[in-house]
Structure 1
């Protein structure tokens, strides 16, 4: 097994965009494809490593870019500037996610009929928006995402199966927001599940987010358990 990666530059609204595609060159033919959607900082090495980890599990994975080529931020002042632009225009975000998915399934190693998405923080919101918009994914996993609804109508039914991995102490997802999400997805006839991790907050998968204040930061147990839940979810989703 040799995990390979290659950069992909593709067009889209407001583009170009640049991400990294990962696959196992020991696997022959097309395999299930997983879009990896970054957090508030944009496309970065930790996202590429997530794509490689998925490739090692037998998937074709693309750590995508929805901000635009070269548009990346660092923690601290101004970290959310590109995310804020997309939060203010959820239709544009939807269209960029559609372009990212198209770039993934255009790869020879990816099975266009078997696609899923995972995302972290802002990327978790993106996964939910892909399902709400009826984009061509069979399922999605949101890790410590944000749950507010877009300003356009969602499809009914939502056909993408959804796994929401949530830190119970996350101030960006208080209990009432979690309940509202469950109600929304139930009304949309979605196949959904929410895993809540006690003692975990926002960013619980981010090993670089330590001592970040109450309700934020890495949590090793929640990270491990949510990744295991994702693995089972994808295995069931793709019947592999």
Structure 2
């Protein structure tokens, strides 16, 4: 078992482990165009048969402990959880300046961002432990933006969920290919994603009348409101987690 920090252990333990559960975890090596990647898998081995899967995309610091904690939480709920690696093996950042520079490479090349999520998706969809017809992609901050970008590719997803993501509206609109439902959880006090950005993104979603989407705004929540430390907002974190679990129940 990963030796989680106390703050991440508290997150994990907020989800009760089922009696008889056997949470299995493993690092997963894969690649994208020759670049080695290292994801993280967690699921309950005591749950028989192919499982619905949730792919988790990390924030701008890379695949560190936080998305793995979320994977553990989802595994306790019976899902196959896979924390994707968009940056490549070993590319993890402690300081905001380095993280911003790395994330900027992908915001400046959305095709690459989408392709990196696709590499993780292919790993998950081809795992015999997964029901490939039931896959959702979620992400936090940078990862939320990546989840939404991947949904635009038309990949066969049951849904896409973004938490405190930078909302990148496209002009012209680029939502025609989205196959699943969309849930966006954003902070009402987020200077990175002001009301105008939320409104612009919603306007783009509205160009597709049949698209199933929700945008939920949490009062007082700043950017990164689910991340322990910093701008962590306990109420917004708890509420957005409940929205996620309800969303998964619905789309799966």
Distance in 2 of aligned mates of 1:152 and 1:45: 37
Alpha-carbon offset, residue 150 of structure 1? 5.6
Q: 2:173·2:204 contact (CA, 8 Å) conserved in 1?
A: no
User: 161, 180, 185: which is aligned to 1:141?
Assistant: 161
User: 227, 231, 235: which is aligned to 1:206?
Assistant: 227
The equivalent of 1:228 in structure 2 is 242
User: 191, 196, 213: which is aligned to 2:217?
Assistant: 196
Change (3 A) 1:177 1:153: closer
Q: Deviations over 1:1-28 (max 9, x none)?
A: 0211011111213521111000001101
The equivalent of 1:213 in structure 2 is none
Alpha-carbon offset, residue 89 of structure 1? 0.8
Q: Deviations over 1:160-196 (max 9, x none)?
A: 2011001011111111111111111111332100110
Name the SS of the counterpart of 1:80 in structure 2: helix
Q: TM-score, normalised by structure 1?
A: 0.92
The equivalent of 2:13 in structure 1 is none
Alpha-carbon offset, residue 73 of structure 1? 0.6
User: 23, 32, 38: which is aligned to 1:18?
Assistant: 38
Q: Deviations over 1:109-143 (max 9, x none)?
A: 11111100110000110111111121221101100
What is the aligned-residue RMSD (CA, Å)? 1.5
User: 79, 86, 98: which is aligned to 1:66?
Assistant: 86
Q: TM-score, normalised by structure 2?
A: 0.88
Name the SS of the counterpart of 1:166 in structure 2: strand
The equivalent of 2:113 in structure 1 is 93
Task: Confirm or deny that 1:125 pairs with 2:145.
Answer: yes
The equivalent of 2:185 in structure 1 is 165
The equivalent of 1:33 in structure 2 is 53
Structure 2 gap segments, 5+ residues each: 1-20
Distance in 1 of aligned mates of 2:24 and 2:36: 23
Q: Deviations over 1:74-112 (max 9, x none)?
A: 133322222111111111111111111111122221111
Structure 1 gap segments, 5+ residues each: 211-216
Q: How many residues align?
A: 231
Q: 2:155·2:179 contact (CA, 8 Å) conserved in 1?
A: no
Alpha-carbon offset, residue 155 of structure 1? 4.7
Q: Which stretches of structure 1, 4 residues or more, deviate above 4 A after TM superposition?
A: 150-153
Name the SS of the counterpart of 1:77 in structure 2: helix
Change (3 A) 1:137 1:68: same
Distance in 2 of aligned mates of 1:159 and 1:76: 34
Q: 1:90·1:151 contact (CA, 8 Å) conserved in 2?
A: no
